[in-house]
Structure 1
């Protein structure tokens, strides 16, 4: 067999070299070897040792001799493997990037839809406020003007405290006039929305549902993050139910759930009861 012939040839070569080596060593040489010849001799001895190891391995084991690939081939194989790994990583990252881009597009569309819905609701609230606004008359205008003039004699804080105290005293008629004057005089100040809220409370007490709803709309415009805003939203829904405007009441309650999820339990209970009255789905 070729394998056995290779082993026999290698063995013969080893035996020849082994036999000749002493003779070469005993032969006197006139000149020493130069450096290049010494290197060549070292390489030959290395080859002999490798051949001897191959011969002994085949003789002792009786199995085919496995010759390892050259170092360069091994490095090429290793680099090929690494390149394949990098290609798989790049493919996976491209897939993740496409998924992230799709999710971002979906989130952007959802945000635009939410903004459009909020703008639509704001427009509806504005239109409702305009429909609920009471018609102005000369007598009422003069009275409101007198109340506003009286309110300007005090600072916003003082006018707010005086109107609030009238409510605490149970004098709702005087409180209603005081809050009306406050809203006309200081409605555009920081305390203006809260003044609208308390003004709506006095109007609700005497059953002026349309005027109360208008006041509450002014209070919750912009959905402020204040302690009284959740109650003002529920009160607006209650007044809309009283005015037989169930769909608008349900819209207000829907915003209540979204804007004020941590509202006090008693306010959430009244919101649930109002939703049942309005037959919200």
Structure 2
């Protein structure tokens, strides 16, 4: 009953508004008030309201349910959407600016890393060259002929055993320079003697102490050629592996260590411990 009354009231209001709209649309004399345009706009709004009311009435009549009228906020919604779009555009602009800054920083970091890498390579090359010069300067006096200007004395004993013991005593006395020269002379003159391999081993020891790893590795290889069954041979294998690892030849060092248990299964616990440490340092599998 209330719905019918409301519908009837809406129809009356619609009729009244329609009549007012018809009257407002009736042509007026040319002398009409200047506010006619505004009145016309008001009539248009009234007509829009009438159409909405009619729609509401018909909806209520057809469904028999209360009609909830939602206020028209189209313009406000459009304005809100426009504001959000503007905010998103500003955010996107800021993000683009930040991305450009990050890209520049990344490029700069890559360039600096490349420069640093080049500097490290150059320094490494210079260091290798200096090491080679130092090794040459160290070996040259030892290999000079006795009596030559600047030449250092070498073991010249005709008796290989005496020459070996003389060089060994220098080593025991801590005279590594003298021991190196003496053992180099011994290997030069008596390398084929029964003490030749051991002489190479002790020469390698003096070179290893002086961190001349390349020369030491060559001497160790000469010492263990043929895998001699001597007390010092297992230690020579480990020292060879250490020299190779110090020369950044980890793969060769690991292969050398792999031969230790095969060639010298009865090596001492100390030698095995040093071998295990060397395997760790060389990152052997």
What TM-score do you get using the length of structure 1 for normalisation? 0.49
Report 1 or 2 for greater relative contact order, CA contacts < 8 Å, sequence distance ≥ 6.
1
Which structure would you say has the larger Rg?
2
What TM-score do you get using the length of structure 2 for normalisation? 0.48
